[in-house]
Amino acid sequence: MRVIITGSSGLIGSAAVRHWDALGAEVIGIDNDMRAEFFGPQGSTRWNQERLESETRDFRSVAIDIRDRERILDLFQNEPPNLIIHCAAQPSHDKAAEIPLLDFDVNAGGTLNLLEATRRHAPEAVFCHMSTNKVYGDAPNELPLQERQTRWDYARGEDYQGINESCRIDQTMHSLFGASKTAADVLAQEYGRYFGLKTGIFRGGCLTGAGHSGVELHGFLSYLVHVAVTGKPYTIFGYKGKQVRDQIECSDVVKAFEAFARNPRPGQVYNIGGGRQNAASVLECIEMIREISGYRVDYQLSDQNRKGDHICYISDLSKLRSDYPDWDIRVSFQEILTQMLASEQAKQDAL
Protein backbone atom coordinates (compact mmCIF):
# COMPACT_ATOMS: atom_id res chain seq x y z
CA MET A 1 0.00 0.00 0.00
CA ARG A 2 1.29 3.45 -0.92
CA VAL A 3 0.09 6.55 0.96
CA ILE A 4 0.79 10.14 -0.11
CA ILE A 5 0.50 12.67 2.71
CA THR A 6 0.69 16.40 2.03
CA GLY A 7 1.84 18.70 4.80
CA SER A 8 3.65 15.63 6.13
CA SER A 9 5.81 17.57 8.60
CA GLY A 10 2.84 19.36 10.14
CA LEU A 11 0.71 18.30 13.06
CA ILE A 12 -1.89 16.09 11.37
CA GLY A 13 0.36 15.09 8.49
CA SER A 14 3.15 13.81 10.73
CA ALA A 15 0.68 11.87 12.87
CA ALA A 16 -0.62 10.27 9.67
CA VAL A 17 2.94 9.45 8.58
CA ARG A 18 3.62 7.62 11.82
CA HIS A 19 0.28 5.83 11.71
CA TRP A 20 0.55 4.38 8.20
CA ASP A 21 4.28 3.72 8.49
CA ALA A 22 3.54 1.62 11.59
CA LEU A 23 0.95 -0.29 9.55
CA GLY A 24 3.63 -1.19 7.02
CA ALA A 25 2.65 1.15 4.20
CA GLU A 26 5.03 2.95 1.89
CA VAL A 27 4.59 6.60 2.84
CA ILE A 28 5.53 9.55 0.64
CA GLY A 29 5.35 12.96 2.28
CA ILE A 30 4.91 16.21 0.36
CA ASP A 31 6.22 19.15 2.38
CA ASN A 32 8.38 22.13 1.43
CA ASP A 33 8.22 23.82 4.88
CA MET A 34 6.16 26.79 3.69
CA ARG A 35 5.19 27.32 7.34
CA ALA A 36 8.61 28.95 7.78
CA GLU A 37 7.69 31.37 4.98
CA PHE A 38 4.25 32.04 6.45
CA PHE A 39 5.26 32.41 10.11
CA GLY A 40 9.05 32.76 10.29
CA PRO A 41 11.57 30.38 11.88
CA GLN A 42 9.36 29.61 14.88
CA GLY A 43 6.74 28.13 12.56
CA SER A 44 9.16 25.85 10.71
CA THR A 45 8.44 22.12 10.79
CA ARG A 46 11.83 21.02 9.45
CA TRP A 47 12.69 19.59 12.87
CA ASN A 48 9.68 17.32 12.63
CA GLN A 49 10.60 16.12 9.14
CA GLU A 50 14.09 15.16 10.34
CA ARG A 51 12.67 13.31 13.30
CA LEU A 52 10.19 11.42 11.10
CA GLU A 53 12.92 10.40 8.67
CA SER A 54 15.03 9.01 11.51
CA GLU A 55 12.22 7.19 13.33
CA THR A 56 10.10 5.66 10.55
CA ARG A 57 10.54 2.48 8.51
CA ASP A 58 9.47 3.35 4.95
CA PHE A 59 8.91 7.09 4.74
CA ARG A 60 10.47 9.67 2.49
CA SER A 61 9.72 13.34 2.05
CA VAL A 62 9.73 15.25 -1.23
CA ALA A 63 9.92 19.04 -1.22
CA ILE A 64 7.22 19.68 -3.81
CA ASP A 65 5.11 22.83 -3.70
CA ILE A 66 1.50 21.68 -4.19
CA ARG A 67 1.02 24.69 -6.48
CA ASP A 68 3.45 23.04 -8.93
CA ARG A 69 0.93 21.18 -11.06
CA GLU A 70 3.39 19.37 -13.32
CA ARG A 71 5.45 17.98 -10.44
CA ILE A 72 2.31 16.82 -8.63
CA LEU A 73 1.00 15.14 -11.79
CA ASP A 74 4.39 13.48 -12.39
CA LEU A 75 4.56 12.13 -8.84
CA PHE A 76 1.07 10.61 -9.03
CA GLN A 77 1.76 9.15 -12.48
CA ASN A 78 5.07 7.59 -11.46
CA GLU A 79 4.01 6.45 -7.99
CA PRO A 80 0.21 6.23 -7.90
CA PRO A 81 -1.09 6.06 -4.33
CA ASN A 82 -3.84 3.97 -2.76
CA LEU A 83 -4.60 6.69 -0.21
CA ILE A 84 -4.08 10.45 -0.13
CA ILE A 85 -4.18 12.42 3.12
CA HIS A 86 -4.27 16.10 2.16
CA CYS A 87 -3.23 18.33 5.07
CA ALA A 88 -1.03 20.93 3.34
CA ALA A 89 -2.42 24.46 3.58
CA GLN A 90 -1.84 28.07 4.42
CA PRO A 91 -3.51 27.62 7.81
CA SER A 92 -3.85 31.06 9.37
CA HIS A 93 -7.14 32.93 9.65
CA ASP A 94 -5.24 36.22 10.08
CA LYS A 95 -2.22 35.73 7.82
CA ALA A 96 -4.41 35.22 4.75
CA ALA A 97 -5.34 38.91 4.67
CA GLU A 98 -1.66 39.80 4.17
CA ILE A 99 -1.10 37.22 1.40
CA PRO A 100 -4.45 36.66 -0.34
CA LEU A 101 -3.03 35.48 -3.68
CA LEU A 102 -0.61 33.03 -2.07
CA ASP A 103 -3.30 31.84 0.34
CA PHE A 104 -5.75 31.03 -2.45
CA ASP A 105 -3.15 29.48 -4.73
CA VAL A 106 -2.03 27.10 -1.96
CA ASN A 107 -5.38 26.25 -0.43
CA ALA A 108 -7.63 26.13 -3.48
CA GLY A 109 -5.23 25.72 -6.40
CA GLY A 110 -3.05 23.19 -4.62
CA THR A 111 -6.09 21.11 -3.67
CA LEU A 112 -7.33 21.17 -7.28
CA ASN A 113 -3.92 19.95 -8.48
CA LEU A 114 -4.03 17.00 -6.07
CA LEU A 115 -7.62 16.09 -6.93
CA GLU A 116 -6.93 16.17 -10.66
CA ALA A 117 -3.76 14.12 -10.22
CA THR A 118 -5.83 11.57 -8.33
CA ARG A 119 -8.52 11.51 -11.01
CA ARG A 120 -5.98 11.00 -13.80
CA HIS A 121 -3.55 8.58 -12.20
CA ALA A 122 -5.14 7.00 -9.09
CA PRO A 123 -8.94 7.03 -9.60
CA GLU A 124 -9.51 4.13 -7.17
CA ALA A 125 -7.59 5.81 -4.35
CA VAL A 126 -9.25 7.23 -1.25
CA PHE A 127 -8.75 10.99 -0.80
CA CYS A 128 -9.12 12.48 2.71
CA HIS A 129 -9.23 16.27 2.62
CA MET A 130 -8.48 18.20 5.80
CA SER A 131 -10.90 21.11 5.66
CA THR A 132 -11.83 23.55 8.44
CA ASN A 133 -14.80 24.86 10.37
CA LYS A 134 -13.96 28.27 8.89
CA VAL A 135 -15.95 27.20 5.81
CA TYR A 136 -19.02 28.16 7.87
CA GLY A 137 -17.72 31.71 8.27
CA ASP A 138 -19.39 33.50 11.15
CA ALA A 139 -22.78 31.82 10.54
CA PRO A 140 -22.40 29.86 13.82
CA ASN A 141 -22.49 33.21 15.65
CA GLU A 142 -26.13 33.59 14.61
CA LEU A 143 -27.22 30.87 17.04
CA PRO A 144 -28.70 32.22 20.28
CA LEU A 145 -25.97 32.31 22.91
CA GLN A 146 -25.87 32.81 26.65
CA GLU A 147 -22.99 34.35 28.57
CA ARG A 148 -21.77 32.38 31.55
CA GLN A 149 -19.09 33.18 34.08
CA THR A 150 -16.20 31.77 32.06
CA ARG A 151 -17.65 30.98 28.62
CA TRP A 152 -20.24 31.60 25.98
CA ASP A 153 -22.56 28.66 25.34
CA TYR A 154 -25.56 27.78 23.22
CA ALA A 155 -28.85 29.00 24.65
CA ARG A 156 -31.12 26.36 23.09
CA GLY A 157 -31.20 22.70 23.99
CA GLU A 158 -31.31 21.64 20.35
CA ASP A 159 -27.90 23.28 19.79
CA TYR A 160 -26.21 21.60 22.77
CA GLN A 161 -24.08 19.18 20.70
CA GLY A 162 -22.83 22.02 18.53
CA ILE A 163 -22.58 22.84 14.83
CA ASN A 164 -23.54 20.15 12.33
CA GLU A 165 -22.85 19.86 8.61
CA SER A 166 -26.12 21.56 7.62
CA CYS A 167 -24.79 24.97 8.73
CA ARG A 168 -24.67 27.18 5.65
CA ILE A 169 -21.33 28.10 4.07
CA ASP A 170 -22.33 31.17 2.01
CA GLN A 171 -23.61 34.70 2.74
CA THR A 172 -21.34 34.93 5.76
CA MET A 173 -17.94 36.44 6.60
CA HIS A 174 -15.26 33.75 6.39
CA SER A 175 -11.91 35.58 6.43
CA LEU A 176 -9.95 35.11 3.22
CA PHE A 177 -8.51 31.90 4.66
CA GLY A 178 -12.03 30.60 5.19
CA ALA A 179 -12.95 31.54 1.63
CA SER A 180 -9.98 29.74 0.08
CA LYS A 181 -10.61 26.66 2.22
CA THR A 182 -14.30 26.75 1.24
CA ALA A 183 -13.27 26.63 -2.42
CA ALA A 184 -11.06 23.62 -1.70
CA ASP A 185 -13.79 21.94 0.37
CA VAL A 186 -16.38 22.26 -2.41
CA LEU A 187 -13.89 21.08 -5.04
CA ALA A 188 -13.19 17.94 -2.99
CA GLN A 189 -16.92 17.33 -2.67
CA GLU A 190 -17.42 17.82 -6.41
CA TYR A 191 -14.68 15.39 -7.38
CA GLY A 192 -16.52 12.85 -5.25
CA ARG A 193 -20.04 13.61 -6.42
CA TYR A 194 -19.31 14.40 -10.09
CA PHE A 195 -16.37 12.12 -10.89
CA GLY A 196 -17.03 9.46 -8.25
CA LEU A 197 -13.66 9.80 -6.54
CA LYS A 198 -13.57 8.45 -2.99
CA THR A 199 -13.22 11.87 -1.38
CA GLY A 200 -13.97 12.57 2.27
CA ILE A 201 -14.03 16.12 3.61
CA PHE A 202 -13.22 16.67 7.28
CA ARG A 203 -14.08 20.10 8.67
CA GLY A 204 -11.76 20.44 11.63
CA GLY A 205 -12.27 22.41 14.79
CA CYS A 206 -9.12 23.05 16.84
CA LEU A 207 -6.66 20.34 15.83
CA THR A 208 -3.83 20.06 18.29
CA GLY A 209 -1.24 17.92 20.03
CA ALA A 210 2.27 17.89 21.44
CA GLY A 211 3.80 17.97 17.94
CA HIS A 212 2.18 21.29 17.01
CA SER A 213 4.48 24.19 16.03
CA GLY A 214 2.03 26.83 17.22
CA VAL A 215 2.54 30.55 16.61
CA GLU A 216 0.49 33.59 17.53
CA LEU A 217 -1.38 33.58 14.21
CA HIS A 218 -2.09 29.85 14.15
CA GLY A 219 -2.27 27.01 16.64
CA PHE A 220 -4.09 28.63 19.54
CA LEU A 221 -3.65 25.98 22.24
CA SER A 222 -0.06 25.15 21.33
CA TYR A 223 0.91 28.81 21.40
CA LEU A 224 -0.96 29.35 24.68
CA VAL A 225 1.03 26.50 26.27
CA HIS A 226 4.24 28.03 24.87
CA VAL A 227 3.60 31.45 26.40
CA ALA A 228 2.60 29.85 29.71
CA VAL A 229 5.89 27.94 29.98
CA THR A 230 8.10 30.77 28.71
CA GLY A 231 6.34 33.59 30.55
CA LYS A 232 5.66 35.61 27.40
CA PRO A 233 2.68 37.99 27.33
CA TYR A 234 -0.53 36.88 25.63
CA THR A 235 -3.36 38.89 24.07
CA ILE A 236 -6.91 37.53 23.88
CA PHE A 237 -8.78 39.11 20.98
CA GLY A 238 -12.41 39.86 21.72
CA TYR A 239 -15.37 38.21 23.43
CA LYS A 240 -13.91 38.71 26.96
CA GLY A 241 -11.82 35.57 26.59
CA LYS A 242 -15.00 33.50 26.82
CA GLN A 243 -14.93 32.27 23.20
CA VAL A 244 -15.20 28.47 23.10
CA ARG A 245 -13.29 25.95 20.98
CA ASP A 246 -13.36 22.16 20.96
CA GLN A 247 -9.92 20.54 20.95
CA ILE A 248 -9.09 17.25 19.23
CA GLU A 249 -5.75 15.47 19.49
CA CYS A 250 -4.13 14.69 16.15
CA SER A 251 -4.22 10.90 16.59
CA ASP A 252 -8.02 10.99 16.87
CA VAL A 253 -8.18 12.85 13.54
CA VAL A 254 -5.98 10.22 11.90
CA LYS A 255 -8.22 7.46 13.25
CA ALA A 256 -11.16 9.14 11.50
CA PHE A 257 -9.21 9.12 8.22
CA GLU A 258 -8.49 5.43 8.72
CA ALA A 259 -12.16 4.66 9.33
CA PHE A 260 -13.15 6.53 6.16
CA ALA A 261 -10.43 4.79 4.12
CA ARG A 262 -11.83 1.39 5.10
CA ASN A 263 -15.36 2.35 4.02
CA PRO A 264 -15.30 5.50 1.88
CA ARG A 265 -18.43 7.49 1.18
CA PRO A 266 -17.60 9.64 -1.89
CA GLY A 267 -18.10 13.37 -1.45
CA GLN A 268 -19.29 13.19 2.15
CA VAL A 269 -18.57 15.98 4.63
CA TYR A 270 -17.86 15.46 8.34
CA ASN A 271 -17.37 17.90 11.16
CA ILE A 272 -14.47 16.75 13.32
CA GLY A 273 -13.29 18.24 16.57
CA GLY A 274 -13.23 17.49 20.25
CA GLY A 275 -16.99 17.84 20.60
CA ARG A 276 -18.77 18.93 23.76
CA GLN A 277 -16.51 16.80 25.97
CA ASN A 278 -13.30 18.59 24.86
CA ALA A 279 -14.70 22.13 24.58
CA ALA A 280 -13.33 25.02 26.64
CA SER A 281 -13.08 28.79 26.51
CA VAL A 282 -9.76 30.63 26.38
CA LEU A 283 -10.17 31.60 30.04
CA GLU A 284 -10.90 27.99 30.96
CA CYS A 285 -7.82 26.81 29.06
CA ILE A 286 -5.68 29.29 30.98
CA GLU A 287 -7.10 28.07 34.29
CA MET A 288 -6.60 24.41 33.39
CA ILE A 289 -2.96 25.09 32.48
CA ARG A 290 -2.50 26.63 35.92
CA GLU A 291 -4.18 23.68 37.64
CA ILE A 292 -2.09 21.09 35.80
CA SER A 293 1.29 22.79 35.83
CA GLY A 294 1.24 25.85 38.08
CA TYR A 295 2.12 28.12 35.14
CA ARG A 296 0.17 31.37 35.03
CA VAL A 297 -0.47 33.07 31.71
CA ASP A 298 0.27 36.80 31.62
CA TYR A 299 -2.63 37.87 29.42
CA GLN A 300 -4.47 41.02 28.46
CA LEU A 301 -7.89 41.40 26.87
CA SER A 302 -8.45 43.26 23.64
CA ASP A 303 -11.91 44.48 22.66
CA GLN A 304 -11.09 43.83 18.98
CA ASN A 305 -12.14 40.35 17.90
CA ARG A 306 -10.74 38.75 14.76
CA LYS A 307 -12.97 39.24 11.70
CA GLY A 308 -15.21 36.26 11.06
CA ASP A 309 -14.14 34.60 14.32
CA HIS A 310 -16.46 32.22 16.13
CA ILE A 311 -17.83 33.13 19.55
CA CYS A 312 -18.78 29.58 20.46
CA TYR A 313 -17.84 26.68 18.22
CA ILE A 314 -18.36 23.06 19.21
CA SER A 315 -18.27 20.34 16.54
CA ASP A 316 -21.36 18.15 16.42
CA LEU A 317 -19.83 14.71 15.84
CA SER A 318 -23.14 12.89 15.35
CA LYS A 319 -22.75 12.22 11.61
CA LEU A 320 -19.18 10.93 11.92
CA ARG A 321 -20.12 8.70 14.85
CA SER A 322 -23.17 7.40 12.99
CA ASP A 323 -21.34 6.53 9.76
CA TYR A 324 -18.27 5.16 11.59
CA PRO A 325 -19.45 3.81 14.95
CA ASP A 326 -16.04 2.32 15.78
CA TRP A 327 -14.56 5.83 15.85
CA ASP A 328 -14.76 8.17 18.83
CA ILE A 329 -12.72 10.69 20.83
CA ARG A 330 -10.08 8.83 22.83
CA VAL A 331 -7.83 11.63 24.13
CA SER A 332 -9.40 13.94 26.72
CA PHE A 333 -8.78 17.66 26.90
CA GLN A 334 -6.85 17.26 30.16
CA GLU A 335 -4.64 14.60 28.56
CA ILE A 336 -4.01 16.88 25.58
CA LEU A 337 -2.89 19.74 27.81
CA THR A 338 -0.76 17.48 30.01
CA GLN A 339 1.09 16.09 26.98
CA MET A 340 1.58 19.54 25.45
CA LEU A 341 2.91 21.04 28.68
CA ALA A 342 5.41 18.19 29.08
CA SER A 343 6.57 18.59 25.50
CA GLU A 344 6.98 22.37 25.75
CA GLN A 345 8.84 22.06 29.03
CA ALA A 346 11.22 19.54 27.44
CA LYS A 347 11.84 21.93 24.54
CA GLN A 348 12.68 24.80 26.87
CA ASP A 349 14.93 22.61 29.03
CA ALA A 350 16.87 21.64 25.91
CA LEU A 351 17.57 25.26 24.93
Domains of the chain, start order: 2-350 (3.40.50.720)
pLDDT at 43 over 80: no
Whole-number pLDDT of residue 14: 96
Residue 47 pLDDT level (bands cut at 50, 70, 90): confident
What is the reported pLDDT for 9? Answer: 93
On the question of pLDDT at 216 being above 80, the answer is no
Could you tell me the pLDDT band of residue 70, with boundaries at 50, 70 and 90?
very high
143 exposure class (CB count in 10 Å sphere: 0-12, 13-18, 19+) = middle
- Average pLDDT (134-160) is 97
Instruction: Categorize the per-residue pLDDT at 38 as very low, low, confident or very high, splitting at 50, 70 and 90.
Output: confident
Contact 153, 80 (CB under 8 A): no
Please list the alpha-helical segments (H only) found in 126-249.
Answer: 176-193, 220-230
**pTM for the whole structure:** 0.94
Model confidence at 217, in pLDDT bands (50, 70, 90)? Answer: low
**pLDDT at residue 206, rounded to an integer:** 92
Average pLDDT estimate for 196-207? 96
Q: How confident is the model at residue 258 (pLDDT cuts 50, 70, 90)?
A: very high
**Of 81, 82, 55, 34, the residue nearest 218 (C-alpha):** 34
Q: Which of 13, 265, 273, 50 is CA-nearest to residue 164?
A: 273
pLDDT (tens digit per residue) in 325-344: 999 999 999 999 999 999 99
